[in-house]
Structure 1
Amino acid sequence: MGKYLKLSYDISSHEIPTTKVPEFQYRVTPFPASDLINISICNCELITNEKNRKVYYLKFSRENINFHYEPGYTIGILPSNSIELVNRILIRLGLEDVADQCYKLSLDESATKKLIPKHLPVYGTLRNLLLHNVDLTSAPKKLFLKSLLEYTTDEKECDTLLFLCSPKGSIEYQTLISSYTKRSVLGLLEMFPSCQPPIEVLLKHLPPLLPRAYSISSSPLNEEYLSITFNVDTFPDNQRGLCTSWLERCIHEYEKTKHVEVPIYLRNPSSFVLPEDNSVPIILIGTGTGISPFRGFLEHRHLNIAGGASYGKSWLFYGCRDSNRNYLFKSDLKEYLASGALSRLCESFSRESETNKYVQHEIEKYTEELGTWIVKDNAIVYVCGDFLRILPAVKEAVLKVLVESQDFPENDAQLYLKEMEEKGRYIVDNWN
């Protein structure tokens, strides 16, 4: 169960590679459609600022972008862990004196049929490795907790670790991994003060620091910038998302220096793209930052219309909490309505009435018209939102539209919607 990796700091100079290893060679990039590139922030806007949620509209210069993309595509952004968190872990493990020494990572002599994980650089510094290559905040596996037993001296702490790994401790384990603070590497080490694992044990169990996917919010016809929209949420335990808080730190640095680069790559495209036939009607349904890819859709139509193109009708259902504080891209949507890029706009504001009106309620108000768009006009329905809260409610509302407008029995409506999904006429972009 112990360690099979070995870090050495007493390495001779001739062992260190003379050519610099590319900074992101060891980073994991799922579903790549391009190489990794660094792109520069060229502008940013804080578009909503509430107590526990901020929303940013972030623009990147297109100067270094060498890939083709379409509206609806996503990019992978490679974040780093916070310097403060890394420093606290190094101090807690007593490694601050070697944190910036060059190490060599190898396999322990006792290791058989083992390989060095691909996301761990063979040479480097421990500080950089913890900053860029391993996820320090993901939920720990029970195998990781069990591995800490060997390095924990307090009897009560050992009993707690054993209990968390046992079937009887399943509820407590779920509670632990649902707490962003407690489940982190630092949180675990603080929970078990007598635990002093070698860094090799952590490296064996910590997963790679994965990129986060963000929908592109702008059109490829926009030659000035590529943009994304993201929110920074503060959770009940006062923690924030790893990538979004890192992006916010990048923005603060940009405001000071006017030069910050962000590592990104283009992800393989999904079916969440505009139809090839411009005349096909589209229905867009999104809440909060779920409007992000739709802004790209509509800007693309808007710029093409300015160049003489024509499009079929479009209908956006947009929901947010408050029309004054949370409404994203309100002025842009007005411009798209004026140009004909957007035909109709329906809004719902959940915190402006006692009955909490959501986007699905707005859909149900237009049953007959939507039924005509979907069944007779063969419109494509796009939905972007939270997987657990928004998507089921919207799907139920669309089923209700089919039942009430077309006199479909419930089973027939479900079959029709399933057929729409299979034919790419009901397309979902979601997050969890």
Structure 2
Amino acid sequence: MEQKSKLKISYDKDLNEIPPNEYAATKYRITPFSSSDIISSSICKYELITNEEDRKVYHLRFSTDNTCFNYQPGYTIGILPSNCENLVEKILVRLGLEHVADKCYHVCVEQINAKKTLPKHIPICGTLRNVLLHNVDLNSVPKKLFLRSLINYTEDENERDKISYLCSPKGSTEYLSLISNHSKRSVLALLETFSSCKPPIEILLEYLPPLLPRPYSICSSPLNNDYLSITFNVDKFSDGSKGLCVSWLEKCIRKFENDKQCLVPMYLRSPSKFVLPQDDSVPIIMVATGTGISPFRGFLEHRHLQPEKSFGKSWLFYGCRDSGSNYLFKEDLKKFVASGALTRLSECFSRESGTKEYVQDVIEKYTDELGYWILQDEAVVYLCGEFSKVLPAVKKAILQVFMSYRHLQEDDAKLLMKKMEDEGRYIVDSWN
């Protein structure tokens, strides 16, 4: 069945009507869980706090001069990245659109599709360069509906058959292989794989999903009037490429280095349960690995900056690769311990000796003390780490604490854990 775009684009010859770049960069951006408007905050400082061969970690600070966010420790911001300019240029050239890339376009839904509406993330007017830079995700997993739409614009019969096969139930294995390969699933990679495919730009605008913001935990306190900060790590995929947002943030840092100014669009996300207890006297236990320490730095800086330190005891379990180059915020943690903002600090390092030690291993060393903190003093347990690896292992270790301290069977320990979760005393922040 022929599948054509329901959108129609026309170009305006009057270049004076081109909306400003910020029009596409912010006005039509999708902002899930938003509790504020989008603001453009200026970078004021950054630190490269680890610089390993396979991973860099940045502590990035934003000026609070024009930031009117009303937030608490544990809140997150959404950062709105842009696509790579070089990638956008290659797509424009591949589709033969470089001659209209910077002309003002107008897009509408054709009248024969009265029930169809324009995607909310597509500006009604703008330039193709800006909409590809800011509004559509050029690296997203290609949906089968999008692949199927490409068949109509593919001249080579073998390539058409290949696309049809990928969209069929029989081609599910190859389709899953395609979408799991970061370097082969992008729009440009698809167009290069199927060289006779040349879809109109309307197809991309209709089927590509919005370029979504990326959430980052705020790792500073609202009592800090100098800056609002985040921490992010730059990992590489197997093909050597990097994630979209971290690559873009690194580019922003380079711009800041050269121009001494760079604006980053962001907004405050709605609060989750991952916040300090309303009662400052309640004990807290924090478990983190790697950059999972970010929200806890915000927790502890908040307590450190309070003039009257009348809060309950706190215990941080922190795991990283080694105690030298990979240890995040080591000096800050020493400062928080010295001021009393942090009562206890238990560290572990997975690559410092022949015996690998992880946070769950350290937790099991303190079964009696943790059992007393959690079950007698009713401490709140916070966990921030990778979903697939850290969370299950730590949860298992906490269950062992319950089983040992209360002499419980595993099923009873799980019921106790479920009760803590329901009461907001076991709170998780994770990523994939």
Contact 2:18 2:126 in 1 (8 A): no
Which residue of structure 2 lines up, in the alignment, with residue 295 of structure 1? 297
Say if 1:168 and 1:375 are closer, same or farther in 2 by CA, change over 3 A: same
Per-residue deviation, 1:108: 2.1
Per-residue deviation, 1:160: 1.6
Q: How does 1:348-387 map to 2 (within 5 A)?
A: 348-387=348-387
Out of 264, 268, 271, the residue aligned to residue 269 of structure 1 is 271
Range with bigger deviation, 231-240 or 294-303: 231-240
Contact 1:179 1:237 in 2 (8 A): no
Which residue of structure 1 lines up, in the alignment, with residue 44 of structure 2? 42
Unaligned runs of 5+ in 2: none
Which residue of structure 2 lines up, in the alignment, with residue 423 of structure 1? 423
Contact 2:24 2:134 in 1 (8 A): no
The letter of the residue matching 2:267 is Y
Out of 155, 158, 165, the residue aligned to residue 157 of structure 2 is 155
Given the alignment of the two structures, is residue 395 of structure 1 paired with residue 395 of structure 2, yes or no?
yes
* Aligned CA-pair RMSD: 1.6
Which residue of structure 2 lines up, in the alignment, with residue 96 of structure 1? 98
Contact 2:77 2:217 in 1 (8 A): yes
Which residue of structure 2 lines up, in the alignment, with residue 114 of structure 1? 116
Which residue of structure 2 lines up, in the alignment, with residue 52 of structure 1? 54
Q: How does 1:156-171 map to 2 (within 5 A)?
A: 156-171=158-173
Contact 1:152 1:196 in 2 (8 A): yes
Whole-Å Cα distance in 1 between the matches of residues 81 and 18 of structure 2? Answer: 26
**Secondary structure of 2:318's aligned partner:** strand
Dislocated runs of 4+, deviation >3 Å: 10-18, 20-23
Per-residue deviation, 1:7: 1.0
Q: Deviations over 1:190-229 (max 9, x none)?
A: 1111111111011111000111110000000000000000
Which residue of structure 2 lines up, in the alignment, with residue 326 of structure 1? 326
Given the alignment of the two structures, is residue 179 of structure 1 paired with residue 181 of structure 2, yes or no?
yes
**Secondary structure of 2:228's aligned partner:** strand
Per-residue deviation, 1:321: 1.0
Per-residue deviation, 1:368: 0.9
Whole-Å Cα distance in 1 between the matches of residues 294 and 196 of structure 2? Answer: 47
Out of 86, 97, 105, the residue aligned to residue 107 of structure 2 is 105
Q: How does 1:175-214 map to 2 (within 5 A)?
A: 175-214=177-216
Contact 2:7 2:109 in 1 (8 A): yes
The letter of the residue matching 2:115 is K
Which residue of structure 1 lines up, in the alignment, with residue 405 of structure 2? 405
Per-residue deviation, 1:11: 5.5
Per-residue deviation, 1:171: 1.7
Alignment TM-score, normalising by the size of structure 1: 0.97
Contact 1:322 1:349 in 2 (8 A): yes
Which residue of structure 2 lines up, in the alignment, with residue 30 of structure 1? 32
Q: Deviations over 1:115-166 (max 9, x none)?
A: 1111000111000000000000010101111111111112221222112111
The letter of the residue matching 1:412 is D
Per-residue deviation, 1:21: 5.0
Whole-Å Cα distance in 2 between the matches of residues 17 and 204 of structure 1? Answer: 21
Whole-Å Cα distance in 2 between the matches of residues 138 and 23 of structure 1? Answer: 18
**Secondary structure of 2:361's aligned partner:** helix
**Secondary structure of 1:9's aligned partner:** strand
Per-residue deviation, 1:278: 1.0
**Secondary structure of 2:229's aligned partner:** strand
**Secondary structure of 1:71's aligned partner:** coil
Which residue of structure 1 lines up, in the alignment, with residue 82 of structure 2? 80
**Paired-residue identity, %:** 63
The letter of the residue matching 2:165 is F
